[in-house]
C-alpha cells in the first residue's frame, strides 16, 4: 500500500495527530506490515531512518497512535497493528491470500494484537460466511483464539 494512497491520511482523526505520530504511522507502512497488518516496529531501527528521531520519539508516536485508535501498539513486543490492513490487502474470495494472511500471524508475540486480528477475521467471515476458507484448519485454529475488540490501552 502506498502511504499517500491511504485514506486514513486525509481523515480528521489522523490530521489531529502530532507530526510524530503521523511519521511513525508512515514509517510502519514503509517497514512492510505482515499480510495480517502487524508490523515489527523496532523503534531503535526506525529511529535510524530519520535524522533527529530517537527510540523514545518512535515509541511516543506509537503510543499516540494507540491512544487515538489509529493503530495499536504493544510496547512489550514492539509490534504495531494497522487495523483494517488485512481487509485492505487481502481478497477474502481468494483462499490463498486468506491463508497467507493467517500464516503471517505466526511469530507475532503480542496476544493483544493477535486477538485483534481474530476480531478482524470474524468481521470478514460475517461479510462472506459461505466461503470454504473458513473451514481450513489453519483458519479454524487461529479463529479459536480469543478475540479482542480493538481499543486503546488505558495509560499506555
Tens of pLDDT, residues 28-57 = 999 999 999 999 999 999 999 999 999 999
Closest CA to 47 of 65, 29, 24, 15: 24
Does the residue 154 lie in any domain? Answer: no
**Last residue in a domain, options 55, 83, 111:** 83
Domain boundaries, position 135: 86-143
Measured over the CA atoms of residue 33, residue 37, residue 40 and residue 45, the dihedral's sign is: positive
**Number of domains forming the structure of the chain:** 2
Report the C-alpha gap between 92 and 98 in whole angstroms.
6
92 plus 137 within the same structural domain: yes
**Residue 67, domain CATH:** 1.10.10
- Is 152 within the bounds of a domain? no
Rounded to whole angstroms, how far apart are CA atoms 98 and 139? Answer: 8
**Are 78 and 7 part of one and the same domain?**
yes
> Are residues 69 and 12 part of one domain?
yes
pLDDT tens per residue across span 55-105: 999 999 999 999 999 999 999 999 999 998 888 877 888 889 999 999 999
The pTM (predicted TM-score) of the whole model is 0.89
User: 98 and 38, same structural domain?
Assistant: no
CA distance 124 to 24: 27
Summarize pLDDT for 102-118 with one digit per residue, the tens. 999 999 999 999 999 99
Amino acid at each position: 500500500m502506498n502511504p499517500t494512497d491511504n485514506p486514513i491520511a486525509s481523515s480528521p482523526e489522523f490530521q489531529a495527530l502530532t507530526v510524530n505520530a503521523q511519521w511513525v504511522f508512515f514509517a510502519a507502512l514503509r517497514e512492510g506490515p505482515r499480510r495480517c497488518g502487524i508490523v515489527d516496529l523496532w523503534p531503535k531501527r526506525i529511529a535510524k531512518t530519520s535524522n533527529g528521531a530517537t527510540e523514545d520519539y518512535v515509541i511516543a508516536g506509537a503510543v499516540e497512535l494507540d491512544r487515538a485508535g489509529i493503530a495499536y501498539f504493544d510496547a512489550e513486543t514492539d509490534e504495531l497493528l494497522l487495523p483494517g490492513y488485512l481487509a485492505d490487502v487481502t481478497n477474502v474470495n481468494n483462499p490463498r491470500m486468506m491463508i497467507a494472511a493467517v500464516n503471517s500471524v505466526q511469530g507475532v508475540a503480542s496476544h493483544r494484537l493477535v486477538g485483534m486480528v481474530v476480531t478482524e477475521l470474524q468481521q470478514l467471515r460475517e461479510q462472506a460466511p459461505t466461503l470454504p476458507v473458513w473451514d481450513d484448519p489453519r483458519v479454524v485454529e487461529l479463529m479459536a483464539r480469543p478475540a479482542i475488540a480493538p481499543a486503546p490501552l488505558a495509560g499506555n
